[in-house]
């Protein structure tokens, strides 16, 4: 090899990247002193800058899950319908008829705060690649968004940018964005959450995995060229924010949905041949994580010539090439001899295709640049020795049970209902949803709140007399419950997701989760992580909805202030015949029944509810308890009633309680209802705390159904020992009457519901 002085002449920066590192370099890259010493010891040398960069990316929280791994291992991940659990690009479940649903959720929180459009757009692009890398055609996108207080000036800018970014990518690539949740809380003022979920469809026997095979096989780089964008993005995503975070803008990746579309079509076309042995998306930590993970999963090695990597800029160094997070790139191992055929497909789609090296059996990652060895590392320490911390934690839970009489108010039921629908957390998100193309691909049955879960048809399963199968998808989390009691909050997120899936008529099947928390070095934050994982595990096991994929996002703090703990549950379910699905809107002359609510239910659970916040501006009570047995019973009976085609609509009771849920069911057709009350409440007035708690309490395991077959339904409910309460029959009056106590004009409330977000966003009111 030429002397290093030759390299200095060719590319000075590359020369610097190949120099021995110092402790200061490691600290700057987010590693600790202990981690640096461990690295030097494990590889038996002092790493050069490129090698250290590779280590810092692989050891980042984002790639190594070092703080959460111990607890993630406790999640239930198995069931007979699980084809692939966590550890691959996405989870895979069997949905029958030789088909598989492939799905995952992933966060792009930090980049979206710094640069909302590109941050959220690349979040969508990244999660789509995770799904089509597995050989699945993406069929639906969802998201879970958390923004700061609506009256904070930055919020409007962030909402507008994030929504545009999500739409910008999804609309262009032509995958429908069918729903999700958007909430606001001041804890997200300096650290928003953008979690994007994608669901894809594959043939069960045509799933592609990432483990490299066969020493000597060619390693192929395809897609967009590598640029200097997003360098060390994974490390940025694993650090707390400060006031100067916007200076990190260059570490935000730039998305190109057009190239994403070409890459999607080219990859799926190639996967239709027998050329691809294994494939991995270049996501967080780019070429580093893809090459390291592919080689180590196959217990092999990899040798790459970085001069062959297509680059966008001149004289990029090995460090930059390995740590760039440029989007729309893939790494593949091809069957030897199939390179020409594969290249012709990528030529057709005008994408780069480069043979950059080969699989080896050395167990090492060897990289060359300008003929010099830029990196020579054993793979084992990169993956196996990534630290796993058992950080101290304390699970704090509020035990104080608030009674309705603790919350005295001079607000009437109508006043409260108006405040609820003026709250952007409850109000219609139509302003947001209309900016997403929800109907492209022609398979969307329910999007954007038409039903508790979004529903897409499974293309190609149409049969005589049926439109075929459907996949139901939802994202859920109630962070204020998690904050008050992490275990209950974790359980509640799973239960609400399952209720939502069931309320669309589908059977809940599996989960992808996105665990968004603050700084795990704080005992209480670590307690929130551990507690909610415990809660999620317990509920997911009980409901047989294992976790098949997921993502962890920690250090969601700004200047030491942590976000509300937000473990988002993305759940997928299936229905055999989509025409049997359920929307939330009741029809005229339907009887509404609250499932899971007994005749004796007299006082609602007010602690930690939206109602409590309205009355005393606090969430200091214990959240509603979870009874898994009841949750399961309510879901099973709902599905049973629906199988017998006895239902018109269903809507689970969550934020805002029973009365809010009833209103939402009446909105579409401007219906009215004379609502039945338990005997103890008939003589109450509109200020009565007990009556208000009945209206707005957030007791769990309840779903309101609408039926035209009241007698049959009642019979089945009694036979099955299910608690229920008949709320009354809908009429065309558009008045919701609570006996003689009060009359709610549904059209007024509906109007509020639709205007809240547009007026928050400063849109001029029309019509």
Partner 1 sequence: MRSGVVIFPGSNCDRDMIVAIRKITGKTPIKIWHKEYDIPNLDLIVIPGGFTFGDYLRCGALAARSPVITSIKNHISRGGAVLGVCNGFQILIEAKILPGSLIRNKKLLFTCRETTLEVQSCIENPFLSGLKIGECLKIPVAHNEGNYFAPEDLLKQLKEEGRIALKYIKQNDNEKNYNPNGSTEDIAGILSNNGKVLGMMPHPERAINNLQGGTDGLKFLTNCVEQIIG
* Catalytic residue ranges: 62, 108
Pick from 24, 44, 205, 350 the residue near partner 1 by CB under 8 A.
350
Nearer Cβ to partner 1 (168/546):
168
Distances (CA, A) of 561 to 65, 497, 526, 717: 22, 28, 14, 48
Task: Decide whether 387 or 758 has the Cβ nearer to partner 1.
Answer: 758
Instruction: Print burial letters for 179-206: b (CB count within 10 Å at least 16), e (below 16).
Output: bbbbbbbebbbbbbbbbbbbbbbbeeee
x/- letters, 565..594, toward partner 1 (CB under 8 A): -------------xx---------------
**Number of amino acids touching partner 1 (CB under 8 A):** 33
Nearest Cα neighbor of 554 from 5, 107, 26 is 107
Nearer CB in complex with partner 1: 107/581: 581
Q: Which position among 34, 80, 600, 766 is part of the footprint of partner 1 (CB under 8 A)?
A: 766
Q: Which two tokens stand for residue 532?
A: 């909610």
167 contacts partner 1 (rule: CB under 8 A) = yes
Q: Is 284 in the site for partner 1 (CB under 8 A)?
A: no
The CA-based diameter of the chain, rounded to the nearest angstrom, is 94
For the chain, the helix, strand and coil percentages under 3-state DSSP, each to the nearest 5:
40, 25, 40
CB of 579 to partner 1, least distance (A): 6
Return d(Cα 677, Cα 155) in angstroms, integer.
41
User: Which of residues 349 and 372 has its CB atom nearest to partner 1 in the complex?
Assistant: 349
Residue (178 or 377) nearer to partner 1, CB: 178
Q: Which stretch binds partner 1 (CB under 8 A): 167-175, 192-200, 240-248, 702-710?
A: 167-175
759 binds partner 1 (CB under 8 A): no
Could you say whether residue 436 binds partner 1 (CB under 8 A)? yes
Residues 438-457 that bind partner 1 (CB under 8 A): 438-442, 444-445
Could you tell me the two tokens for 495? 């239960």
Shortest distance, CB of residue 577 to partner 1, whole angstroms? 11
Strands 724-731 and 591-595: antiparallel
Q: Which two tokens stand for residue 244?
A: 């100067």
d(CA 345, CA 266) in angstroms, rounded, equals 6
44 near partner 1 (CB under 8 A): no
* Binding status of residue 437 toward partner 1 by CB under 8 A: yes
**What's the min distance (Å) between Cβ of 478 and partner 1?**
28
Please state, in angstroms and as integers, the Cα–Cα distance from residue 630 to each residue in 391, 597, 626, 699, 723, following that order: 35, 10, 8, 11, 9
* Rounded least distance, CB 66 to partner 1, Å: 38
128 binds partner 1 (CB under 8 A): no
Copy the structure tokens of residue 545.
């909805």
In the complex with partner 1, which residue's Cβ is closer, 461 or 612? Answer: 461
Q: How far is the CB of 255 from partner 1 (least distance, A)?
A: 11
Would you state the torsion angle of the CA atoms of residues 654, 660, 665, 671, taken in this order, to the nearest 10 degrees?
170
Q: Tell me which stretch binds partner 1 (CB under 8 A): 160-168, 282-290, 298-306, 544-552.
A: 160-168
> In whole angstroms, what is the distance from residue 99 CA to residue 88 CA?
18
Q: Euclidean distance between the first and final Cα of the chain, in Å?
A: 76
Nearest one of 496, 660, 664, 508 to 584, comparing CA atoms? 664
Interaction pattern, residues 228-267, with partner 1; x per rule: CB under 8 A? ----------------------------xxxx-xx-----
Closer residue to partner 1, CB minimum distance, 167 or 697: 167
CA distances from 528 to 88, 181, 213, 238, 387 (A): 26, 21, 40, 18, 21
434 binds partner 1 (CB under 8 A): yes
The pair of three-digit structure tokens given for residue 293, joined into one six-digit string = 């993970």
CB of 202 to partner 1, least distance (A): 16
CB of 147 within 8 A of CB of 192? yes
Name, in order, each residue with C-beta under 8 angstroms of 553's C-beta and a sequence gap of 6 or more. Answer: 107, 109, 193, 195, 237, 514, 515, 516, 517
Among 55, 71, 184, 349, binds partner 1 (CB under 8 A): 349
Minimum Å gap between C-beta 144 and partner 1 is 20
What does the per-residue mask of binding to partner 1 show for 524-563, with x meaning CB under 8 A?
Answer: ----------------------------------------
Neighbours of 460 (CB within 10 A): 11
**If binding is defined by CB under 8 A, does position 767 make contact with partner 1?**
yes
For position 171 contacting partner 1 by CB under 8 A, the verdict is yes
Q: Which is nearer to partner 1, 257 or 508 (CB)?
A: 257
* Nearest-approach distance from CB 766 to partner 1, in angstroms: 4
The smaller minimum CB distance to partner 1, of residues 316 and 447, is found at 447
Binding stretches for partner 1 (CB under 8 A): 164, 167-168, 171-174, 256-259, 261-262, 349-350, 433-442, 444-445, 467, 578-579, 763, 766-767
């Amino acid at each position: 090899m030429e002397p290093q002085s030759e390299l200095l002449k060719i590319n000075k920066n590359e020369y610097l990247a190949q120099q021995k590192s110092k402790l200061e370099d490691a600290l700057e890259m987010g590693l600790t002193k202990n981690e640096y010493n461990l690295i030097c010891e494990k590889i038996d040398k002092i790493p050069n800058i490129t090698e250290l960069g590779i280590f810092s990316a692989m050891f980042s929280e984002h790639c190594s899950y070092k703080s959460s791994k111990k607890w993630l291992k406790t999640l239930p991940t198995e069931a007979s319908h699980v084809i692939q659990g966590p550890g691959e690009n996405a989870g895979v479940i069997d949905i029958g008829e030789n088909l598989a649903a492939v799905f995952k959720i992933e966060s792009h929180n930090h980049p979206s705060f710094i640069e909302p459009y590109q941050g959220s757009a690349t979040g969508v692009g990244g999660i789509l690649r995770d799904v089509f890398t597995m050989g699945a055609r993406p069929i639906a996108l969802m998201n879970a968004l958390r923004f700061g207080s609506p009256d904070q000036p930055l919020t409007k800018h962030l909402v507008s940018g994030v929504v545009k970014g999500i739409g910008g990518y999804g609309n262009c690539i032509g995958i429908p964005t069918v729903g999700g949740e958007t909430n606001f809380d001041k804890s997200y003022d300096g650290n928003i959450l953008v979690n994007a979920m994608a669901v894809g469809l594959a043939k069960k026997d045509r799933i592609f995995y990432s483990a490299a095979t066969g020493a000597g096989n060619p390693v192929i780089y395809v897609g967009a060229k590598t640029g200097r964008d997003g360098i060390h993005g994974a490390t940025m995503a694993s650090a707390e924010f400060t006031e100067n975070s916007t200076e990190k803008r260059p570490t935000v990746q730039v998305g190109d949905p057009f190239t994403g579309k070409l890459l999607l079509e080219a990859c799926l076309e190639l996967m239709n041949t027998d050329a691809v042995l294994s494939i991995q998306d270049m996501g967080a930590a780019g070429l580093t994580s893809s090459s390291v993970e592919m080689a180590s999963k196959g217990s092999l090695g990899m040798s790459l010539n970085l001069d062959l990597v297509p680059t966008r800029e001149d004289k990029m160094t090995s460090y930059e090439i390995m740590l760039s997070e440029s989007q729309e790139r893939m790494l593949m191992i091809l069957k030897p001899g199939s390179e020409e055929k594969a290249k012709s497909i990528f030529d057709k789609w005008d994408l780069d295709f480069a043979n950059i090296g080969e699989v080896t059996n050395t167990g090492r990652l060897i990289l060359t640049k300008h003929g010099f060895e830029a990196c020579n590392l054993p793979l084992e320490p990169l993956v196996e020795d990534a630290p796993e911390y058992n950080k101290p934690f304390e699970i704090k839970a509020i035990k104080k049970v608030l009674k309705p009489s603790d919350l005295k108010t001079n607000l009437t039921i109508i006043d409260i209902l108006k405040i609820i629908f003026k709250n952007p957390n409850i109000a219609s998100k139509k302003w947001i949803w209309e900016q997403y193309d929800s109907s492209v691909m022609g398979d969307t049955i329910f999007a954007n709140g038409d039903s508790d879960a979004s529903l897409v048809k499974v293309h190609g399963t149409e049969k005589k007399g049926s439109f075929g199968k459907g996949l139901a998808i939802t994202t859920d989390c109630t962070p204020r419950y998690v904050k008050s009691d992490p275990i209950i909050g974790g359980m509640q997120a799973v239960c609400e997701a399952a209720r939502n899936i069931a309320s669309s008529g589908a059977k809940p099947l599996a989960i992808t989760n996105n665990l968004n928390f603050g700084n795990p070095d704080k005992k209480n934050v670590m307690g929130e992580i551990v507690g909610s994982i415990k809660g999620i595990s317990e509920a997911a096991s009980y409901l047989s909805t294992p976790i098949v994929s997921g993502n962890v996002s920690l250090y969601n703090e700004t200047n030491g202030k942590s976000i509300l703990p937000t473990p988002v549950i993305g759940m997928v379910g299936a229905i055999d015949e989509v025409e049997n699905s359920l929307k939330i809107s009741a029809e005229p002359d339907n009887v509404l029944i609250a499932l899971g609510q007994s005749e004796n239910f007299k006082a609602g659970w007010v602690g930690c509810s939206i109602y409590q916040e309205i009355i005393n501006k606090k969430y200091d009570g214990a959240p509603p308890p979870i009874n898994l047995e009841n949750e399961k019973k309510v879901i099973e009976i709902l599905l049973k009633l629906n199988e017998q085609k006895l239902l018109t609509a269903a809507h689970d009771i969550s934020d805002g309680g029973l009365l809010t849920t009833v209103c939402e069911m009446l909105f579409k057709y401007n219906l009215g209802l004379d609502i039945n009350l338990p005997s103890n409440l008939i003589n109450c007035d509109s200020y009565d705390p007990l009556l208000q708690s009945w209206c707005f309490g957030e007791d769990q395991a309840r779903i309101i159904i609408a039926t035209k077959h009241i007698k049959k339904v009642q019979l089945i409910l009694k036979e099955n020992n299910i608690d229920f309460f008949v709320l009354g029959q809908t009429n065309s009056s558009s008045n919701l009457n609570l006996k003689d106590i009060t009359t709610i004009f549904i059209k007024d409330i509906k109007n509020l519901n639709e205007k809240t977000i547009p007026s928050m966003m400063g849109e001029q009111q029309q019509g």
